[in-house]
Amino acid sequence: MVFYFSGTGNSKHVAQRLAQATGESCISITDCMSKDECSFSLSEDERVGFVTPVYFWGLPDIVVRFVNKLTLTGLHHNFIYHVLTFGTTTGQAHYMMQELLKKKGLRLDAKYNVRMVDVWTPIFDVSDHEKCLRKTEEAEKSIAKTTARAAARKAGNFDCLRFPHWFAHWYYLTYENQRKTKNFHVMNDRCVGCGKCASQCPEQAIECKDGYPVWTKEKCTLCLRCLHHCPRFAIQYGRHTMKHGQFVHPGERGQDA
C-alpha cells in the first residue's frame, strides 16, 4: 500500500504512479485522518510506501500525527520506503520519518526523492505557468526511476539533498508559528462563496460564514490547498502570495486531494 499526503497534487501524482507500478493500493492520509481509520492489515510481501512533501525541511504536521496513530498488522519483513516531493532541499524529512517509524518498531528500508514545483508561494514564484509545466514534465524521469526502484524493492538512502540535522531542526521549529491560520486572509471582492476551500481542507479548519471562508482552528498543516485551488485566487497567506501565483499539478485539476 502507498500512503500519501498532498496539497496541490504533486505527492498524489507520485503515489498514483507508485501504486500502478507495484499493483498496490493508494491511500490518502487526509481521508485516514478525517475518518479516524489508521489501522491496516498487510498481505505477505506487500510494500509499505509513504509519499509526502517537505514542509520547512521536515514533515507536514498531519503526516506526523498519522504515522503516530498508524497500526500495521501482518508485518513480516515487509519493504518500507519513503518518497519525498520537494522543491529546494529535503532537509531532514527522511530522518523524521525514520525516527517516527523506529518508535513503532519499524525500519525504513529506502529513502527516495522527486524534485517538483515548490508551492510555498510566500517565497517561491509559480506565476510562470510554462516554467512550472517544464519542471513537472522533467520530474517524470525521476518519478519513473523511483517507481522502478520501489517496485524492485531497492533499499538504500538515495537522498543527496538533505541539510545538516541541526540546521534543518532549527528551521523546522519556525513551522509552528507559520501554521497559525491568522496568517491567511480573504479578498472579499474576489470570493464567490463557492465553499471549495472549506470542503477540501485536510484539517477541516475552514467554515463558510455569511458567504466567506473563516478559519475556525488556530493552526493548520499549512498545505496551502485552499490558496492554490481557489477558483478566484481569493485566499492569500501573508503579503507576497498574490504576486507569486497559484499551482495545481495537471493531474490534480478537478479532483480532490
Q: What percent of the chain has pLDDT over 90?
A: 91
Residue whose C-alpha cell reads 480573504 in the numeric block: 186
pLDDT of residue 163: 66
What's the pTM value of the predicted model, to 2 decimals? 0.95
Q: How confident is the model at residue 237 (pLDDT cuts 50, 70, 90)?
A: very high
C-alpha 200/C-alpha 255 separation (Å) is 10
Pairwise pLDDT comparison (257 vs 140), residue with the higher score: 140
- Given a cut of 90, whether residue 132 has pLDDT beyond it is yes
Pairwise pLDDT comparison (150 vs 160), residue with the higher score: 150
Buried b (16+ CB within 10 A) or exposed e, 12-26: bbbbbbbbebbebeb
- Given a cut of 60, whether residue 21 has pLDDT beyond it is yes
C-alpha 219/C-alpha 3 separation (Å) is 23
Mean pLDDT of the chain: 95
Cell of 100: 517516527
- Given a cut of 90, whether residue 168 has pLDDT beyond it is no
Pick from 130, 92, 136: nearest CA to 114: 136
User: Around Cβ 96, how many Cβ atoms within 10 Å?
Assistant: 23
- Given a cut of 70, whether residue 257 has pLDDT beyond it is no
C-alpha 50/C-alpha 93 separation (Å) is 12
DSSP 27-96: EEHHHHHHHT--EEEPPTT--EEEEEE-BTTB--HHHHHHHHH-EEES-SS--EEEEEEESS--BTHHHH
Q: How confident is the model at residue 255 (pLDDT cuts 50, 70, 90)?
A: low
- Residues 174-231 pLDDT 10s: 999 999 999 999 999 999 999 999 999 999 999 999 999 999 999 999 999 999 999 9
Q: How confident is the model at residue 114 (pLDDT cuts 50, 70, 90)?
A: very high
Domains by residue range for the chain, with CATH: 2-173 (3.40.50.360), 179-244 (3.30.70.20)
Range scoring the smallest mean pLDDT among 29-33, 149-153, 169-173: 169-173
